[in-house]
Structures are given as structure tokens and as C-alpha cells.
Amino acid sequence: KLNLNTIVFHIRTHNDAYYNTKLAPKSNYISAANFNQWDYLSWFIEECHKRGIEFHAWLNPYRIKSSGYAAGTTASDVANTYSNYPKNPASKADNILMTYSNGAILNPCKEEVQDYIVDVCIEVMENYDVDAIHFDDYFYAQMSKDITVLTEPDQDDYEAFINANPSCGYSKTSATNKKQWRRDNIDDFIEKLSIAMTEFNSENGR
């Protein structure tokens, strides 16, 4: 009636899940869902396809919490809340960056984080007949009052990268270089995901 041909549906908002997985805690919004009895998302996707509507899965890759942690909350405090999810990189403080808005994100430079999000996407593709995957908020959140990137919590990671890659041409005191390094980290993740998705589609005839 409305000539809709696509639904973009949020299935991961805060390092959680609106679907059946062991890689992240269930979102509070679907806390009552019992996937062993009825997988509402599989049903919803099937109903979309019956009507000629594509189902696009929408994920936030890095965001753990936008705001609301008590002042003084540390990455270790956040990691403790994921102790029951050892496969989730947020279970380790080193994979977490605290933000200026009293929130937290997964650290995009960490290989464990990148590989985890790839695994999240491939698991969704394996278990649900999705037609596409969308991201938003796949960037670094603000971590200091004045956005002084050279004093933000990932500075040690940036300097470690330069030490390990002396020919990269980046300076430890260049904010422009560090911003590009951050973009490089996002690009690296997207490249890994593209390769994994292409392989999956090829192996599964999609």
C-alpha cells in the first residue's frame, strides 16, 4: 500500500543484541524474548520477504554506551559487566575507550575488536536471511573536553603503532597524523569485513 521495498531494522545498538547470539548480552528492549521458543527476528524477516520487502540489518559496531556512566567509571568497571561474555572484547578493559559524555566505545584500533565485529556480522548472515548490513556510529567518539586527540586515551595505542611501524611516516605529536591513523583503523576493519562477507556469499551461493 505504501510502496515500501526495504526495512532497515536495528539489531545491535550498544554492544548488545536484538537477536539470538552468545557474542553479546541480550538488549534490555527484548529482555523477555525466549529465542528457544520463538525467534521473532526470523519470523519478521520471513514476513518481510513474503511481501517483497528486503530486510537490512542495522548495527552499531563500537558503541557500548552513549552516556550515563557515573563520574569516575573506568574501563575496568565496564569490562566487569561483560564477565559473562568472554568472547566479547568489552570483557577486557584494554579494548574499551571511555568517552567525554560518560560513555564508552570498543577501541577501533584493536585487532580483537575488529575481528569480533566481523564475527558478529558473519554470525548474523549465517543465522538470518538478511539482504544487507548497515552501520552507523562507526567512528571514534569524543574522549576529551576540547577534542585534543593527542591527549585522549588511545594515545598509547597510537604511539605503539608508530614504534612498531617506524616507516609509516606518522609523528607522535601530529594531531593530523593521529586523526588519519584513526581513519586507517576504521578502513582496516571495513576491508576485513568486505573480504569475509565476499567469501561467505561465494561459499553459500549468495
> One digit per residue, pLDDT tens: the chain, 206 residues?
888 899 999 999 999 999 999 899 999 999 899 999 999 999 999 999 999 999 999 999 999 999 999 999 999 999 999 999 999 999 999 999 999 999 999 999 999 999 999 999 999 999 999 999 999 987 888 888 877 899 999 999 999 999 999 999 999 999 999 999 999 999 999 999 999 999 999 999 87
Could you tell me which of 130, 131, 120, 136 has the C-alpha nearest to residue 21?
A: 120
Angstrom distance (rounded) from CA 165 to CA 185? 14
pLDDT for the residue 176: 96
Q: Which residues in the chain belong to E strands, given as ranges?
A: 6-12, 54-59, 63-65, 96-98, 104-106, 132-135
At 137, give phi and psi (nearest 5°).
60, 35
In sequence order, the β-bridge partners of residue 54 are: 6
H helices of 2-144, in order, are: 40-50, 75-80, 111-127
Angstrom distance (rounded) from CA 127 to CA 107? 26
Name the DSSP letter for residue 19: S
pLDDT for the residue 18: 97
pTM for the whole structure? 0.94
Q: At what angle do helices 155-164 and 175-203 cross, to 10 degrees?
A: 80
